Amino acid sequence: MADVTMKFQNSWRFHIPKQPCTTNKSIRFPEDMVKAVEEAIRGTDCTFSAFVIAAVYAALSSLAEDEAEK
């Protein structure tokens, strides 16, 4: 989890982004969640995948912060 928090701690410095290595995973989402995400990103340049990835990074960062506070 430390790697995830480093991404946010160093966010003030600009780096030319690299395409990260990816792994394809199939995830089943509840229909209401899919509709809520699609509504949230409607009219933006954000894709469903990008939204989910950002949400997972945020969740991992939050967990790392919680762990650090223990």
pLDDT in tens, 39-68: 999 999 999 999 999 999 999 999 999 989
Question: So where are the chain's domains?
Answer: 2-10+29-69
What pLDDT is attached to residue 17?
Answer: 74
DSSP string, the chain: -HHHHHHHHTTTS-----------------HHHHHHHHHHHTTSS--HHHHHHHHHHHHHHHHHHHHHH-
pTM higher than 0.75, yes or no? no
